Amino acid sequence: MAYTRDNGVRPTATYHLFVELVKRGDIHSRKQLIQFSTILGELRQDPWTDDGADIARLLPQLSLYTRTIRNILSHTNSPEVAVNEVIHWHMFRDMLDMARELNIRVRINKFTCVSDIQRLHDRFAVFQQRDLEIHNTYSAYTFLPLESPDKEYGGFRFIQLATPDQLVEEGKTMHHCVGGYSKHCLMGKSILFSMFKGRSWITVELDGSDYTIRQKYTIKDFTVQNKEILEIIDEWLHDLVEIHKNDEEPYQVRANAHYQVQLNAEKLEKLEAMEHDNMSPDEKSWLEQALATLKGDLEGSLVKMTTKEVPNATSFEQIPAPA
C-alpha cells in the first residue's frame, strides 16, 4: 500500500479492484460499482481543508472495505448468490465508526457474506442505543461508595465503578455488558470493581447483601483462569470483608436509600420550581402536600442511610445478575 504526505493512504488496492469489477461486467460487479461512485463523491472533498477532515479516517476504512469485498468474493461460488452480495458503503462505514466509538476491534477476515456485516452493524447499534439510554436515564446519579482496601495487590488496585457513565466506559474497554448494570448498582444489588493496573484487567461484581463474588470476567466476558490472579482477588475480598465484618446494616439497604435520596431530591427540585401564581387553590394545596410528602421521604431515606435499625437483607428481593 502506498502512502502520501501527512500519512494519507493512497487507495491503490481499491483502484485495482475497481478496474477488476469494470472488466468483469456482471450484475454483481455493476451493483458494487454503484457503491464506489458514492465513495468517489466523498473523496472529491479537498483532504487538506476542514471540510475534508474526515478523509484521514475514510481512506483506511476504504482499504478495509476493499479487502472485505475481496474476502466475500472468495467465499462466493454461485453467481446467483453473488448478485445479492453487495456491500453497501454507508452500512460498512457506519459499522466501523460504531466499532471505533465502542472500542471494539473488527476482524474483517471473519466476514464470509454481507449478512455477517449487517448483523454486526445492528449489534453495534443496539449497544450504542443502550449506552445512550443509560446516560440519559442515570447519568445524574452516583452509586453509594463502599469502603475498600486502599492498597495494591500484586501491582493491582481494585477501584469501585462509581457512576453509570463509568460502567459504560468499563463495558467499552472490556467488551462486555457491564454498562447495563446501572439500576442494580443504584439499588445496591450489585457493586462493581475494576481490577486496575494501567488499564482495567478484570471486572468484579459483588453481591450488595453479603459481598460474595457474583461474577469476575476479563475482556470479552472470558472467565478468569489464572491461579495467581484468582489468589489476588481472594486476598482483596478477604480484606474487604474484614473491613465490613461489624457492619450492622447491609450495603444494599444503604445504597438503595442513597438512590432514593437522589430521586426524591430531583423530584423536590422540580416541584419547588413549579410556577405558583397561576395555580388554583386546589392545585396549590396538592403541591403543598406533595412537597411535604417528598420532604418526609427524603428525611426517611437519609435516616435509613445512617441508622442501625434497618431491615435484614433477606427481606429484599434478590435477582440474578444479568447474563
Angle, vertex CA 292, rays to CA 287 and CA 293, nearest 5: 100
pLDDT value of position 133: 86
247-275 exposure pattern, b = at least 16 Cβ within 10 A, e = fewer:
eebbbbbbbbbbbbbbbbeebbeeeeeee
pLDDT value of position 90: 84
pLDDT value of position 300: 62
pLDDT value of position 4: 41
Q: Where are the domains of the chain?
A: 2-134, 157-243, 251-315
Residue 90, Cα to own-chain centre: how many angstroms? 23
CB contact at 8 A, 55 and 43 = yes
Considering only CA atoms, which of 148, 134, 146, 147 is closest in space to residue 181? 134
pLDDT value of position 209: 92
Instruction: Quote the CA–CA distance of 39 and 62 in Å, as a whole number.
Output: 8
Characterise 154 by phi-psi region: left (phi > 0), alpha (psi -120 to 50), beta (else): left
| Mean pLDDT (10-residue bins), the chain, 323 residues | 42 79 80 80 56 66 87 64 68 88 85 88 86 85 95 96 92 84 93 95 94 89 89 97 92 90 77 70 70 67 47 33 35
pLDDT value of position 245: 92
pLDDT value of position 31: 81
